[in-house]
C-alpha cells in the first residue's frame, strides 16, 4: 500500500515474475513428485494431508456459493438502498443493520469491504460496523453450513445466530456511545467496479474467492496438523477443563482465521470439545481473527482496529458463554 509512487513500473516487472514462478514451481513439483509422495508415506503426515484436503473440499461449495452471492449483492443492489432502509435514529439503526446482516450471504472477507463502502456512502459507522460483524456470522449460508456440520444439533445453530447478533448489536452501541470517527482512516474501494454490472459481479466474486480462499487453506492446514500433531490424550485433557477449553477454542478461532462459511466444519472436527467452546469458536472466528484484523487495519486504519478488535473479542466471548449456558446445556 505504501509503495504507491513506482507502482506501475513495478507492476510490469512483477507481472512476468509471478507467472514464471507459477510455471517453474509447477514443473519442479511434477518432476519431484516421486520424492514428495515418498515423504508423505509417513502415516501422521498422510492423515494430516487427508484432513487438510477434506476440509478444503467440504468448504469449497460454501465458499464459492458465498462469493457468487456477495458479488451479486455488491453488483446489483446499490448501497443507497441500505441508506433508505435504515431508521434515522442511530441507536435504533444498529439492531436493524444487524438483522440486515442476514442479507449479505458472504463471509467476513466480503463484509469488510462492503462495510467500508457503506461508511463511505454515508451510513453511520455504528450501523456499518454492526453489519460488518453480523453479516459473516448470521447469514443463511453460514447457518446452513453450521447445520450441516453439526447434524443433530439444531440448538447450536440457534445459539450461534443469537450470540453473534447480540455481539454485533452490543459492539455497535458501544461504538455509538464511545467511538470516534476520527479513529477511522478510510481509503476508497472502487477497484472492482467494471463496465457492466455483470463484470462487477464477476470481479467481486473472483476477488473475494482469492482473498478468502487463501486464508481458508491456511486455516485448514493448521487445523489438520493440530488434529494430528497434538496427542489425543492432551487434547482430551484441555477439552475436559471447561475454562481451558473455551480459552483454547477462542485462541484457535483468532489464529486459524477460517472463513465463516467453513468454520463450522473445522469446529465440529474437534470432537472432544464441549458445544459451548465450539460456540465460542464460531462466534469469535467471524468477528475477530488474524486476517480480519489485518483487513480492518487495511480498510479502517490501525487506530481503529486496535480498539475495535479487543472490544469485539470480549463481547463475543461473553455472549457465547451466556447464550451457550442457556441453550446448550
Q: Should residue 210 be labelled a site residue for another protein when binding is judged by CB under 8 A?
A: yes
CB–CB of 262/62 below 8 Å?
A: yes
Q: Which is nearer to another protein, 55 or 138 (CB)?
A: 55
Q: Should residue 241 be labelled a site residue for another protein when binding is judged by CB under 8 A?
A: no
Q: Should residue 237 be labelled a site residue for another protein when binding is judged by CB under 8 A?
A: no
Q: Which residue from 70, 111, 127, 227 is in contact with another protein, where contact means CB under 8 A? A: 227
> With 0-12 CB in 10 A as exposed, 13-18 as middle and 19+ as buried, what is 90?
middle
Q: What burial letters (b/e) apply to 286-304, b meaning 16+ CB within 10 Å?
A: bbbbbbbbebbbbbbbeeb
CB–CB of 274/242 below 8 Å?
A: yes
At its nearest, how many Å lie between another protein and the CB of residue 47?
5
At its nearest, how many Å lie between another protein and the CB of residue 96?
31
Spatial distance between the Cα atoms of 68 and 76, rounded to a whole number of angstroms: 12
Q: Should residue 279 be labelled a site residue for another protein when binding is judged by CB under 8 A?
A: no
Q: Report 31-50 residues binding another protein (CB under 8 A).
A: 33, 36-37, 40, 43-44, 46-47, 49-50
Q: For another protein, what does the binding mask look like between residues 179 and 208, x meaning CB under 8 A?
A: --------xxxxxx------x--xx-xxx-
Q: Should residue 68 be labelled a site residue for another protein when binding is judged by CB under 8 A?
A: yes
Stretch that binds another protein, among 4-12, 94-102, 176-184, 300-308 (CB under 8 A): 4-12
Q: Which residue from 82, 265, 281, 300 is in contact with another protein, where contact means CB under 8 A? A: 265
- Retrieve residue 294's grid coordinates: 489485518
Q: What is the dihedral of CA 77, 112, 69, 266, to 10 degrees?
A: -160
Under DSSP, the state recorded for 182 is G
CB–CB of 165/302 below 8 Å?
A: no
Q: Should residue 149 be labelled a site residue for another protein when binding is judged by CB under 8 A?
A: yes
Q: Which is nearer to another protein, 150 or 300 (CB)?
A: 150
Q: Should residue 57 be labelled a site residue for another protein when binding is judged by CB under 8 A?
A: yes
At its nearest, how many Å lie between another protein and the CB of residue 110?
14
Other beta carbons within 10 Å of 316: 29
Amino acid at each position: 500500500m505504501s509503495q504507491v509512487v513506482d507502482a506501475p513500473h513495478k507492476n510490469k516487472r512483477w507481472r512476468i515474475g509471478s507467472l514464471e514462478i507459477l510455471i517453474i514451481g509447477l514443473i519442479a513439483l511434477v518432476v519431484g513428485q516421486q520424492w514428495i509422495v515418498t515423504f508423505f508415506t509417513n502415516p501422521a503426515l498422510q492423515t494430516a494431508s487427508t484432513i487438510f484436503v477434506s476440509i478444503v473440499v467440504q468448504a469449497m461449495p460454501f465458499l464459492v456459493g458465498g462469493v457468487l452471492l456477495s458479488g451479486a449483492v455488491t453488483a446489483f443492489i446499490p448501497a443507497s438502498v441500505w441508506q433508505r432502509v435504515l431508521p434515522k435514529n442511530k441507536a435504533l439503526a444498529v439492531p436493524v443493520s444487524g438483522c440486515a446482516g442476514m442479507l449479505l450471504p458472504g463471509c467476513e472477507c466480503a463484509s469488510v469491504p462492503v462495510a467500508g463502502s457503506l461508511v463511505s456512502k454515508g451510513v453511520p459507522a455504528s450501523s456499518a460496523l454492526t453489519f460488518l460483524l453480523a453479516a459473516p456470522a448470521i447469514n443463511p449460508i453460514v447457518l446452513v453450513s453450521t447445520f450441516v456440520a453439526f447434524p443433530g444439533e439444531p440448538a447450536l445453530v440457534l445459539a450461534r445466530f443469537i450470540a453473534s447478533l447480540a455481539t454485533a448489536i452490543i459492539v455497535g452501541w458501544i461504538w455509538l456511545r464511545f467511538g470516534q470517527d476520527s479513529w477511522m482512516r478510510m481509503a476508497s474501494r472502487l477497484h472492482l467496479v467494471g463496465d457492466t454490472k455483470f463484470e462487477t459481479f464477476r470481479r467481486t466474486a473472483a476477488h473475494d474467492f482469492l482473498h478468502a480462499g487463501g486464508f481458508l487453506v491456511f486455516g485448514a492446514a493448521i487445523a489438520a496438523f493440530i488434529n494430528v500433531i497434538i496427542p489425543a490424550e492432551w487434547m482430551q485433557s484441555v477439552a475436559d477443563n471447561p475454562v481451558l477449553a473455551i480459552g483454547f477454542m477462542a485462541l484457535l478461532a483468532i489464529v486459524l482465521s477460517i472463513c465463516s462459511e467453513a468454520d463450522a466444519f473445522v469446529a465440529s472436527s474437534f470432537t472432544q470439545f464441549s458445544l459451548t467452546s465450539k460456540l465460542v469458536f464460531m462466534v469469535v472466528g467471524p468477528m475477530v481473527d488474524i486476517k480480519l484484523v489485518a483487513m480492518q487495519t487495511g480498510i479502517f486504519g490501525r487506530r481503529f482496529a486496535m480498539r475495535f478488535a479487543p472490544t469485539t473479542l470480549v463481547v463475543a466471548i461473553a455472549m457465547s458463554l451466556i447464550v451457550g449456558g442457556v441453550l446448550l446445556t
